[in-house]
């Protein structure tokens, strides 16, 4: 009988303890709920800044330890920091520092600084920001007929907002050029990209052996319709000095491009087709000249890593073209075995068949290989049928090398009439 009082006492003690613990927990949870207008900032932290001191950011935010957080205070802090123009993004996070005291909070300010935001002088800040967004890219290439072209290309990234770039190419040698190119990518709307620019260029025409000097202004736009299909349009005004003969011309162009190449350096089982139409309005021509254009390429994978590449190119004209606008035949870009600019005319038709066999591993740092090719092409007048045109041919082989920023192509071709010719082209791109 004596055991029952002891058991009853333990039972009720257990019940009362559980009830007291439940009340304490429920009261604590209820007590921890925030109540508007009573929260006190006991701790401040700033994350994401790298050049601006925490004290400067807190002064801009107008918040300090001991301040009370009123309704809307967090939004006001974000607006004050964004109004400074020093940050691209601002976020305020609130954390409670105690489970038993709901009026004690910590504020965390997450910021993303704009470049050179800590520079006080607005002029120096702009210059520092531009310098941090600038990229310097050397230009070094060898073009058959023109020789070496070298210089630099300066790019300013995101200076026109996100996706906006400004490029300034400056080159001397085979092609002398100074230009300003502007490009802006668009996230929404009818167009994907806008382009514009102005350039001053000079190079020698490889057929007529005359200086071709051009001052140009252009605008253009692109849109991607499908993953592999892109349409484009542009307009270009040119002031031309061709061997001492002055002319002014406006060119309008529209085109569509299909490109399934995953690796443009060595495509396999892919096609590239560009079809377009341009209109040349020249002071030297009595009427606007229509120019249809087609460039079609196919790449068929064969045994191992070998690829069979085919190309067909056509450039037409509805009337006789000025000398500076005539397409050129010869060289790596059209018919090998003939010098660049060996022939010129109003219309151009080119075909090529090439077998490419890599000799390097697909997992190696670069890509090297051998190729054999047959080229054929013709230039002819507007009143002449392509069937009656005189075609030039070239047969030969060569090697190609591509390693990161460096490319080299060396071909030896025979034009089936006279002697063989060596074609070399190389470039260093960054």
Give the angle 354-400-142 at the CA atoms, nearest 5°.
Answer: 110
CB 131 within 8 A of CB 125: no
pLDDT number for residue 254: 98
User: Among the CATH numbers 3.10.20.310, 3.40.50.2000, 3.40.50.150, 3.30.1280.10, which is that of 32-113?
Assistant: 3.10.20.310
Predicted confidence (pLDDT) at residue 195 exceeds the cutoff of 60: yes
By the 8 A CB rule, do 78 and 90 touch? yes
Catalogue the E-assigned strands of 158-244: 164-173, 176-185, 193-205, 210-226, 229-242
Q: How many CB atoms lie within 10 A of CB 58?
A: 19
Q: Nearest to residue 212, comparing CAs of 322, 321, 336?
A: 322
d(Cα 373, Cα 394) in Å, to the nearest integer? 8
* pLDDT for residue 265: 81
Residues 285-303 as b or e (16 or more Cβ within 10 Å = b): beeebebebbbebebeeee
- Helix H or strand E encompassing 304: none
For the ranges 94-98, 190-194, 209-213, the lowest mean pLDDT is seen at: 94-98
Provide the pLDDT confidence category of residue 29 given band limits of 50, 70 and 90. very low
Torsions phi, psi for 80 (to 5 deg): -65, -40
pLDDT for res 129 = 60
Which range among 6-10, 188-192, 386-390 shows the weakest confidence by mean pLDDT? Answer: 6-10
* CB 141 within 8 Å of CB 173: no
Average pLDDT over every residue of 284-308: 94
Cα-Cα end-to-end distance for the chain: 96
State which of 75-84, 96-105, 251-260 shows the largest mean pLDDT: 251-260
Looking at the predicted structure, is the pLDDT value of residue 19 above 60? Answer: no
The string of pLDDT tens digits covering residues 250-295 is 999 999 999 999 888 889 999 999 999 999 999 988 899 999 999 9
pLDDT at 104 over 90: no
Mean pLDDT along residues 121-146: 72
| Distance separating alpha carbons of residues 396 and 412, to the nearest angstrom | 6
Say how far apart CA 383 and CA 180 lie, in whole Å. Answer: 40
Distance of CA 163 to the CA centre of its chain: 9
- Which of 292 and 49 is assigned the larger pLDDT? 292
The mean of the pLDDT values for the chain is 85
Radius of gyration of the chain from its Cα atoms, rounded to whole angstroms? 35
pLDDT tens, position by position, 111-122: 888 765 555 556
* Residue 127 pLDDT level (bands cut at 50, 70, 90): low
Instruction: Output 305 or 30, whichever has higher pLDDT.
Output: 305
The 10s digit of each residue's pLDDT in 317-352 is 999 999 999 999 999 889 999 999 999 999 999 999
What is the bridge-based pairing of β-strands 104-113 and 134-143? unpaired
CATH topology of domain 133-428: Porin (2.40.160)
Return d(Cα 426, Cα 399) in angstroms, integer.
Answer: 12
Q: What is the pLDDT of residue 66?
A: 85
Confidence of residue 133 (pLDDT cuts 50, 70, 90): low
What number is the average pLDDT over the span 381-386?
92
């Amino acid at each position: 009988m004596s055991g029952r009082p002891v058991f009853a006492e333990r039972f009720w003690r257990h019940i009362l303890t559980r009830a007291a613990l439940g009340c304490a927990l429920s009261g604590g949870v209820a007590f921890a709920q925030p109540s508007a207008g009573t929260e006190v900032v006991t701790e401040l932290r700033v994350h994401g800044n790298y050049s601006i001191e925490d004290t400067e950011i807190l002064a801009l935010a107008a918040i300090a330890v001991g301040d009370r957080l009123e309704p809307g205070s967090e939004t006001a802090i974000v607006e004050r920091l964004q109004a400074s123009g020093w940050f691209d993004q601002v976020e305020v996070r609130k954390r409670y520092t105690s489970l038993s005291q709901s009026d004690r909070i910590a504020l965390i300010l997450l910021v993303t600084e704009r470049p050179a935001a800590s520079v006080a002088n607005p002029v120096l800040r702009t210059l520092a920001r531009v310098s941090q967004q600038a990229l310097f890219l050397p230009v070094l290439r060898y073009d058959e007929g023109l020789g070496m072209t070298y210089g630099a290309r300066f790019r300013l990234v995101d200076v026109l907002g996100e996706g906006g770039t400004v490029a300034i190419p400056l080159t001397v040698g085979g092609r002398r050029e100074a230009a300003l190119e502007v490009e802006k990518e668009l996230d929404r709307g009818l167009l994907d990209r806008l382009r514009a620019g102005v350039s001053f260029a000079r190079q020698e025409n490889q057929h007529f052996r005359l200086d071709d000097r051009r001052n140009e202004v252009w605008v253009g736009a692109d849109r991607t319709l499908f993953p592999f299909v892109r349409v484009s349009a542009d307009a270009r005004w040119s002031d031309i000095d061709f061997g001492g003969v002055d002319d002014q011309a406006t060119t309008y162009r529209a085109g569509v491009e299909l490109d399934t190449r995953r690796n443009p350096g060595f495509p396999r089982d892919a096609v590239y087709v560009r079809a377009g139409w341009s209109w040349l309005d020249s002071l030297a021509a009595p009427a606007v000249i229509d120019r249809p254009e087609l460039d079609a390429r196919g790449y068929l994978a064969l045994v191992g890593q070998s690829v069979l590449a085919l190309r067909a190119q056509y450039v037409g004209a509805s009337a006789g073209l000025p000398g500076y606008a005539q397409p050129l035949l010869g060289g790596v870009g059209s018919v090998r075995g003939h010098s660049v600019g060996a022939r010129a005319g109003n219309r151009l038709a080119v075909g090529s068949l090439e077998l490419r066999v890599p000799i390097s591993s697909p997992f190696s740092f670069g890509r090297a290989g051998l190729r054999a090719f047959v080229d054929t092409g013709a230039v002819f007048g507007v009143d002449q049928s392509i069937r009656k045109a005189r075609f030039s041919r070239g047969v030969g082989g060569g090697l190609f090398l591509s390693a990161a920023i460096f490319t080299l192509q060396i071909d030896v071709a025979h034009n089936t009439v006279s002697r063989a010719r060596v074609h070399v082209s190389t470039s260093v791109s960054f």
